[in-house]
Chain A
């Protein structure tokens, strides 16, 4: 058996790191070379000398942070070599451009799942099952209380929520990249035919998605000084950061909701301060994580990004899968 120092991928300063290639994965501090799984800000930091990602991730990132970064891009499935290690991106189904990253060295396969989901999402490529020896998986929702409904059902609930209160302006809070576009895509297939407005940060991402060939319903960019009456009965998409503070004072007679996997827990829903919670997530639920662990055929699994204690114990006891831990 090898000691943990000999693992191809290790945990260093809170980040995943491949020593042999001297390359970091989604680092939280500036480094020389960074592989980026997707364009969410909690997976990106300024100041790296070189970034490597899929084409879509690169375009989304540049749209968000400007052209001043050096990004090398590869297609899904296209292998490239660094220090003798074969590396490739594979769709992870999280958002547009999101990827799992596979490493092959001396016939040993490692797979970093990145943020992923298995559910259908017409705004990005479906999760690809990739076989591996070692799997490093996220486990944001690693408890069996998390079980997602079909997103079309949630979209219908949202549509009903809006149309049942025609006198109100419905504010739906969601992450501006990924979740917003997925919701727009789903909502446009429901009975709701009213106006949809979106906040500037979301509007910008909608356009980028469209440029990348994704079918996203046209929305109106929300102006701060819009007359209130015009918004009655319509839907406004806003980033969660605007739910606290004075922004909401711009509106009268509103109802608010938050679209997130966390909304499945009543206590969190109550504490969040939104009127309503819609349970829809771009991460895998419990069953999704188990499915990926099994189908990847990994003999050894690591978890990060979440509470992995219960999940690990379950896999060891029930599925006899070897769960490993990075030293802190």
Chain B
């Protein structure tokens, strides 16, 4: 099967908006291709192939070097296109006189399992020669796919859910099962594809894999009409959502992003393996302040996530805890179909058993989440407002009678997040966007007043509608003071309301503060720049919170 077919699939998926059509196209693709190519296709489409073999910059330099093309011209083109792989693909169209007559009919499998991995074993000169050779022998239609895989930027508008749906339709098996089979380290091979489309469901082979996660929806007004007693209330922690699984004696720790992270948190794996029962727990991993019984900031957790086999001193410096929300399976019995309130009873029962009967003390690394009991909805609001005090983001509200299904199911779990903090700031810089926003100025920097000077305090990309983006883009082009490469400094005139989640002192920034998740929530056309907030206002906000 040739790479061409996959290129066509990419083109089709990229140009069709209807979900049903996409499913149909995927189904047909799987039906008409080899298992091995199918497994690679799934691997690519589910975004598991983000490994970068060479950088976009390298790709552009290489093209410039091979074809004696001015670097500045490639850079100018990049500003229009916003993607290195695509720029080089378009520029290669001009190089038809370099094309070999004998085109290679390489398969997706060959490309991904042999050709591209082999590149990293070559020295730079050989590697460059090989890429040039591939450019000149691959059919033109395959260039985009090739360049994108090479630069680790292959992405297409297909969700994992869509892949699951199409395989589910292909073999007529529930989406949950497929979703389960796709969790974790999917390694492309004939066997992994055959396992995926196996019509016999074998629980044994699913042993270490997590259940699909159930996710909360944003709060809806209609919930307030219900009795408060119908719901279970928990704090919404800002950590890493995980499933902690112990089956047949071995422990596995899965993130919601379907990553197995045992190696990053060995102390948790070790402690939990002493528990006699088998179980699947849904919960959150946090770096925990044991003295005050609250979570540390997410930034501390980041110091643990990407570090495999952390030293003892790291483990002590950043002590972790797993807070269990839910019990999904106990001693081989899947209890997701029983009501939440009953699962909670089971969770509490087993937790107290484990605390007494486990050889090692588990309470320095594991607990179950405390419940909150607001007496009515206004009281729930009070709890929500207090959530910053214990470093949580608000409340999670769960229907007591709900079963544990999968995905962002409506009407059973809600997140009730604390209102963001806001400041009005002045737009001072803009930068060209990339990808879908190429050619438009979509990356903005905002400033606050300090005496009579505007000091940059945050950058934000999201929050404006497409119409507003276009309007602002026009304004930016007309009101540029100076250009520095892709960045323009602007006439201070536009005021925006910027919302963010956290504000703290930062020595790295000129403003002396750093904010988390800044985003534009309103274009304050009604405000003049003198109405914008000052750094002093920001400091006050910080004081109020801590």
What is the interface of chain A, defined by CB distance below 8 A to chain B?
A: 143-147, 255, 264-271, 275-277, 286-287, 309-310, 313-314, 317-318
Contact = CB atoms under 8 A, between A and B. Distances in A.
| Closest CB pairs A-B (n = 4) | A145-B90, A147-B93, A267-B438, A276-B15
Contact of B94 (A266, A269, A286): A286
A264 B80 CA distance: 11
B81 A267 contact: yes
Nearest to B82: A267
A267 B440 CA distance: 10
A111 B16 CA distance: 44
A145 B70 contact: no
Contacts of B466: 271
Given A266-B83, A271-B436, A145 B72 contact: no
A268 B438 CA distance: 8
A314 B17 contact: no
B91 A144 contact: yes
Interface string B294-314: 000000000000000000000
Contacts of A143: 76-77, 80
B87 interface: yes
A269 B80 CA distance: 12
B485 to A, nearest CB: 14
A302 B482 CA distance: 26
B316 interface: no
A12 B82 CA distance: 35
Contacts of B93: 147
Nearest to B470: A271
B203 interface: no
B12 to A, nearest CB: 9
A263 to B, nearest CB: 10
Q: Most chain-A CB neighbours within 10 Å: which of B15, B83, B435? A: B15
B97 to A, nearest CB: 11
B84 to A, nearest CB: 12
Contacts, number: 63
Given A144-B94, A145-B81, A313-B72, 6 more contacts: A143-B80, A147-B90, A266-B81, A267-B437, A277-B15, A318-B70
Interface residues of B, number: 25
9 contacts: A146-B90, A264-B90, A266-B83, A266-B86, A267-B435, A269-B15, A271-B436, A277-B15, A286-B94
B76 A310 contact: yes
A267 to B, nearest CB: 4
Nearest to A266: B86
Given A143-B77, A144-B91, A268 B439 contact: yes
A248 B295 CA distance: 53
B94 A287 contact: yes
Interface of B: 14-17, 70, 72-73, 76-77, 80-83, 86-87, 90-91, 93-94, 435-439, 466
Contacts of A309: 76
Nearest to A318: B70
Contact of A310 (B16, B73, B94): B73
A178 B439 CA distance: 27
Contacts of A271: 436-437, 466
A293 to B, nearest CB: 16
B77 A144 contact: yes
B70 A317 contact: yes
Q: Most chain-B CB neighbours within 10 Å: which of A144, A268, A269, A276? A: A144
A265 B87 CA distance: 9
Given A264-B90, A266-B86, A275-B17, A144 B436 contact: no
Contacts of B17: 275
Nearest to B438: A267
Contacts of A269: 15
Q: Most chain-B CB neighbours within 10 Å: which of A271, A313, A317, A318? A: A271
A144 B95 CA distance: 11
A252 B14 CA distance: 21
Contacts of A286: 94
A145 B437 contact: no
A267 B76 contact: no
Given A310-B73, A314-B70, A314-B73, A265 B80 contact: yes
Given A145-B80, A147-B93, A265-B81, A275 B73 contact: no
Contacts of B436: 267, 270-271
Contact of B83 (A146, A255, A267): A267
A145 B528 CA distance: 42
Contacts of A275: 15-17
Contacts of A277: 15
A87 B81 CA distance: 40
A270 B466 CA distance: 12
Contacts of A146: 90
A28 to B, nearest CB: 19
A147 B15 contact: no
B83 A145 contact: no
A276 B91 CA distance: 21
Nearest to A164: B12
A131 to B, nearest CB: 26
Contacts of B82: 267
B151 to A, nearest CB: 14
Nearest to B434: A267
Nearest to B17: A275
